[in-house]
Amino acid sequence: MFKEMSLKSVAAAALALLPVTAVAESPTVQQIKERGTLLCSGHNGSYFGFVEVNDKNEWKGLDIDLCRALTTAILGDPNANQIVPLSWAQRFPALQSGDVDLIIKATGWTMGRDTELGLQFSLPYFFGGTQFMAHGDLGITEAKDLDGGTICVEAGTTIERIAANYLSTLGVEHTMVSYESAAELRAAYVANRCDAFAGWGPNLAVLRATEIDNPDAHVILNDQLSSEPISAAMRQGDEEFVDVVNWMLAAMLIAEEEGVTMANVEDMAANPPNPKVARLLGSEPGMGERLGLRDTWAREMIAAVGNFGEVYDRNLGANSPYKLDRGLNNLWSHGGVLYAPILD
């Protein structure tokens, strides 16, 4: 399928008599343009802060905003996407079958997924680790106290494997119950079906902050089981699409670094303070052609969703109900581990 398509796109490029240096357009991007919509991964229910459904039945969250950013970069319209609801377990089959163009769904970069599942990953855009949250009345602080307990987890995730591995290393006797939907899992934990909830740190913090009546009734255990790089996942065999996604993420980070925000992007584009910003915002040509996009894609994207810091604050940080600290997920210059490749 892909071979055929990339041949077609090469032929199209040759017909258009583009300069030899021009990048062959990604078949996925071409498909998205033909379709006029980008198919993004959603969730079966809400995964708070990342993918959630608000009162007006609209999708929002960090992952959704990244999807909107990518949609703007490719199609120039933040709303030209379809969010396909998927369970954790269905996300890879859905990607393989073409039901979605890519997965932006708190997905960790693992070797198995990279090789056996035939995926390829973008730059990590988020770092979070697996942790346990337990009911406070159990009076425990460490995972080894969970002996004999029941642990709930999301089925088909890396967390499922990491938690199982960790507990078996510790020799903790336990029962694991895994659910296909986050809502079912949340309900089970809240109803005390399980003593502890193995989850992704940020998600646990969000849950504790909002979903549960009394935050003090729950403790996040000290054990840090892993720290996972979270990336967008794509089908193998379309390197150009990976480039587009990587530079979409990079542009959001660079924008934050350079202080380009949703509010000032037009001014910055009109009077770029330095050549880097000028290039980023398409005030001088080159940025678009290299990726097979418009020169102004990054400007439109920032205008539509903001830079990475704004997206974080809106969905998880200070401007959200969850008020999560940025911690590791800050720019390197602010004590975090996020940094962009060099824009030259």
Of positions 88, 121, 127, 200, contacts another protein by CB under 8 A? 88
Of positions 190, 278, 337, 343, contacts another protein by CB under 8 A? 190
Sequence-separated (6 or more) residues with CB below 8 Å from residue 100: 39, 40, 41, 84, 86, 91, 94
Of positions 160, 256, 258, 300, contacts another protein by CB under 8 A? 160
What is the 3 state secondary structure string of 256-278? Answer: HHCCCCCCCHHHHHHCCCCHHHH
Of positions 64, 67, 74, 86, contacts another protein by CB under 8 A? 86
Of positions 178, 226, 246, 320, contacts another protein by CB under 8 A? 178
Closest CB 57 distance from another protein, rounded Å: 5
Of positions 13, 23, 24, 89, contacts another protein by CB under 8 A? 89
Nearer to another protein, 1 or 20 (CB): 1
CB 241 within 8 A of CB 291: no
First-last CA distance in the chain: 34
Left if phi > 0, otherwise alpha if psi is -120 to 50, otherwise beta: which for 91? alpha
Q: How far apart are CA 244 and CA 265, in angstroms?
A: 21
Q: How far apart are CA 338 and CA 331, in angstroms?
A: 5
Sequence-separated (6 or more) residues with CB below 8 Å from residue 307: 252, 253, 255, 256, 260, 261, 262
**Which of positions 92-151 make contact with another protein (CB under 8 A)?**
92-94, 96-99, 112, 115-118, 138, 146-150
Of positions 13, 18, 80, 155, contacts another protein by CB under 8 A? 155
Tell me which stretch binds another protein (CB under 8 A): 154-162, 218-226, 241-249, 273-281.
Answer: 154-162
Closest CB 88 distance from another protein, rounded Å: 7
Residue 261 interacting with another protein (CB under 8 A): no
Closest CB 46 distance from another protein, rounded Å: 6
Residue 5: how many CB atoms within 10 A of its CB?
Answer: 16
CB 123 within 8 A of CB 250: yes
Q: Are strands 196-200 and 130-135 parallel, antiparallel or unpaired?
A: antiparallel
Nearer to another protein, 64 or 251 (CB): 64
Q: What are 295's two structure tokens? A: 């020169």
Residue 193 interacting with another protein (CB under 8 A): yes
Burial class (CB in 10 A: 0-12, 13-18, 19+), 105: buried
What is the per-residue binding string for another protein in 39-78, x denoting contact by CB under 8 A? -----xxx------x--xx---------------------
> Taking the CA atoms of the chain, what radius of gyration do you get in angstroms?
21
Nearer to another protein, 23 or 177 (CB): 177
Q: How far apart are CA 159 and CA 163, in angstroms?
A: 6
Residue 33 interacting with another protein (CB under 8 A): no
**Which of positions 276-335 make contact with another protein (CB under 8 A)?**
none
Residue 211 interacting with another protein (CB under 8 A): yes
Nearer to another protein, 68 or 279 (CB): 68
Q: How far apart are CA 113 and CA 221, in angstroms?
A: 28
Q: How many residues bind another protein (CB under 8 A)?
A: 69
Closest CB 14 distance from another protein, rounded Å: 22
Closest CB 291 distance from another protein, rounded Å: 22
Ordered DSSP codes for 213-238: S-GGGEEE-S-----EEEEEEEETT-
Of positions 28, 30, 90, 307, contacts another protein by CB under 8 A? 90
- List of residues contacting another protein (CB under 8 A): 1-3, 44-46, 53, 56-57, 82-94, 96-99, 112, 115-118, 138, 146-150, 155-156, 160-161, 163-165, 168, 175-181, 183-184, 186-188, 190-193, 195, 210-213, 235-237
